[in-house]
């Protein structure tokens, strides 16, 4: 059956608090990412992602302190991202207890960073996150859809001339251990993942692909594994708001013939 498919909740953290609303029961602080991470771990999440969305130095210190607390509490691997621009940022977060780091804008601006991280700490530590959107402007009618996916920086505010598939292949060649692909077209819509693009990434790259953007129901997770060939599925609000309990999701996927860790 191959490796088990992974379910990965993602928390956006600002000034030490989870910024997307949560309604978990019996948490001492619904906004505390450490408590939330612990709850997800107990529910059967395979990994966690924590994204620091506060760019200031003070925010970074708060986030690093949180990573230390998470590492003391969590018994599953976790990835951290946000504001990582150089090796000393990676070192600081790994030293605090993170298992992997996620880099996005910094990797596009200076692709050599991927190789530096892989050489120093190992490819398994380096997750290259790609925010991409299918933009139809500037291309001839009938252009293959693979040529329409542009990569974006700064949380999706700035379009680059890098294209999704070429950049993902380059990231792999430079030493990335995984690709975390967020479809901006699908993000927040709850209409399902970008399965066509995900399938092309999964089928042409040799490293794992984490799907992000579009989860709204259990069937979307089934489809991202069966149609999108993704190795892992990341989601935020459907977990934070208790819309899809992780044990229920995993039981459903297992019954659908998908290899998950129960």
Catalytic residues: 12, 131
Residue 174 DSSP code: H
Relative to beta strand 48-52, strand 78-81 is parallel
Residue 241 DSSP code: T
**Rounded-to-integer distance, Cα 175 and Cα 38, Å:** 31
Q: Give me the DSSP letters along 103-116.
A: ESHHHHH-THHHHH
**Rounded-to-integer distance, Cα 245 and Cα 239, Å:** 7
Residue 221 burial (CB count, 10 A): 28
101 CB-side CA count, 13 A: 30
Nearest to 229 by CA among 259, 201, 252, 192: 201
Relative to beta strand 149-153, strand 158-163 is antiparallel
């Amino acid at each position: 059956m191959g490796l088990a498919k992974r379910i990965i909740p993602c928390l956006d953290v600002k000034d030490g608090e989870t910024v997307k609303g949560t309604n978990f029961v019996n948490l001492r602080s619904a906004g505390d990412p450490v408590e939330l991470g612990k709850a997800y771990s107990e529910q059967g999440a395979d990994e966690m992602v924590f994204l620091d969305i506060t760019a200031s130095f003070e925010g970074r210190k708060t986030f690093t302190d949180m990573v230390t607390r998470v590492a003391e509490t969590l018994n599953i691997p976790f990835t951290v991202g946000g504001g990582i621009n150089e090796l000393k940022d990676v070192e600081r977060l790994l030293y605090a207890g993170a298992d992997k780091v996620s880099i996005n804008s910094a990797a596009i601006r200076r692709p050599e960073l991927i190789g530096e991280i892989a050489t120093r700490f190992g490819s398994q530590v380096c997750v290259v996150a790609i925010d991409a959107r299918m933009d139809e402007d500037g291309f001839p009618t009938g252009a293959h859809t693979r040529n329409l996916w542009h990569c974006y920086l700064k949380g999706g505010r700035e379009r680059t001339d890098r294209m999704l598939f070429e950049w993902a292949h380059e990231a792999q060649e430079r030493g990335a251990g995984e690709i975390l692909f967020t479809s901006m077209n699908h993000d927040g819509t709850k209409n399902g993942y970008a399965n066509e693009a995900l399938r092309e990434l999964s089928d042409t790259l040799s490293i794992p692909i984490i799907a992000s953007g579009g989860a709204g129901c259990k069937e979307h997770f089934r489809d991202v594994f069966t149609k999108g060939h993704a190795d892992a599925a990341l989601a935020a609000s459907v977990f934070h708001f208790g819309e899809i309990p992780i044990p229920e999701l995993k039981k459903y996927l297992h019954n659908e013939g998908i290899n998950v860790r129960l």
